[in-house]
Structure 1
Amino acid sequence: MRKLKNSELNRLNIDQFKDTTKIPLIVILDNIRSLNNIGSVFRTSDAFLIKKIYLCGITAKPPHKEIHKTALGATESVDWQYVENTTDLIKDLQSEGIKILSIEQAESSVSLEQFKVVKGETYAVIFGNEVKGVSQEAVNLSDQCLEIPQYGTKHSLNISVSCGIVLWDLFKKIKFKS
């Protein structure tokens, strides 16, 4: 077995990526403080054809060398926008018919593997601050909370890890739903 070279991966260039149909999934970053986490979310969002990323509150915006370090150019491919107030954004998206899913441990949260996507629905997933999580105000406005099942001694995952798990799971459910 031989590892493939980058030239053999048939990756899209930025123009091709921009023209490619995205899945109906939006990412909202609610007060993310780590520039490396922000860059990682961009890179993961590129991998799974995410429609758009919203950066809210204290979440830093590109261009920034620390974001670029982990995004590896994904800030150029993935559509993004800064919106200062997360709750205003949630209300705007809901008025467009978009379902808001907070990724948070909360009363009545649904375990990620149990969540079923609805064909034709657009979802926005909110990832919260590394210490405080998704703000209570955002949770209150959300249509649902999804929780990543965890079976060890820790109670949380790094936001970039959470993003990878959630986006892959939802990508599969949306893209390959019969």
Structure 2
Amino acid sequence: MTENTNHRKLKLDELNRASIDEFKAQDKLPVAVVLDNVRSMNNIGSIFRTSDGFAVEQICLCGITAKPPHRDIEKTALGATQSIAWTYYETPIEAIEQLRKDGYKIIAIEQAENSLMLNTFIPQKTEKYALIFGNEVNGVSDEAMELIDACIEIPQFGTKHSFNIVVSAGIVLWDFFVKMVDLS
């Protein structure tokens, strides 16, 4: 590898990011993120920010998942609660029922029997997907698991049982983005 000294960090005004209005009008990744009883407001805010980065269609907040505006969500969302469409549902069941009516395939991100490994799952560009991320301790609720169309698991090779929910969301959303969006 040759050394290249032309790696000046870009300034914020050089990033050419969309305004909130431009973002709302642009094409979105046909994905809804469902947060099933996520307890940490920092995790919620980080998932808003990650969802903004990959231009997901919407976030569904369910159960005990906190709703914006809240300073602890904004601390990590950095304004993404203004750009990403979101809806609150009393239960994940209500969110799943609405998303299914709206034509989404319902997929849990969970370690479960008969789950598909993320690297082997090929999303169809003509489909819309609702990805359910569960509680930090208990994962996706049993009630939600009974209603899913498929379950995706992130392959892991270390000693821990799971990734943090924000890390999981980042991995899965990047994977869907790369597989569904033509970056050329």
Query: TM range, normalised to the smaller chain?
Result: over 0.9
How big is each residue's C-alpha offset from its partner over 1:75-100, in whole Å with a ceiling of 9 and x where there is no partner?
00000010111112212222332100
In structure 1, the partner of 2:175 is 169
In structure 2, the partner of 1:156 is 162
Pairing 1:119–2:151 present = no
Moved over 4 A (4+): none
In structure 2, the partner of 1:146 is 152
> Gapped runs of 5+ residues in structure 1?
none
In structure 1, the partner of 2:140 is 134
Task: Indicate which of 65, 71, 80 corresponds to 1:74.
Answer: 80
How big is each residue's C-alpha offset from its partner over 1:131-150, in whole Å with a ceiling of 9 and x where there is no partner?
00000111111000000000
SS class of match (1:12):
coil
Pairing 1:16–2:22 present = yes
Q: Deviation of residue 177 (structure 1)?
A: 9.1
In the alignment, the residues of structure 2 paired with residue 126 and residue 81 of structure 1 have an alpha-carbon distance, to the nearest angstrom, of 14
TM-score normalised to the size of structure 1?
0.97
The 3 A distance-change label for structure 1 pair 177 and 147 is farther
Percent identity of equivalent pairs: 60
In the alignment, the residues of structure 2 paired with residue 125 and residue 177 of structure 1 have an alpha-carbon distance, to the nearest angstrom, of 22
Q: Deviation of residue 166 (structure 1)?
A: 0.5
In structure 1, the partner of 2:3 is none
In the alignment, the residues of structure 1 paired with residue 8 and residue 94 of structure 2 have an alpha-carbon distance, to the nearest angstrom, of 50
In the alignment, the residues of structure 2 paired with residue 68 and residue 119 of structure 1 have an alpha-carbon distance, to the nearest angstrom, of 32
In structure 2, the partner of 1:58 is 64
In the alignment, the residues of structure 1 paired with residue 79 and residue 102 of structure 2 have an alpha-carbon distance, to the nearest angstrom, of 30
In the alignment, the residues of structure 1 paired with residue 103 and residue 10 of structure 2 have an alpha-carbon distance, to the nearest angstrom, of 42
How big is each residue's C-alpha offset from its partner over 1:122-167, in whole Å with a ceiling of 9 and x where there is no partner?
0000000000000011111100000000000001011011110010
TM-score normalised to the size of structure 2?
0.94
Larger CA Rg, structure 1 vs 2: 2
Q: Deviation of residue 9 (structure 1)?
A: 0.6
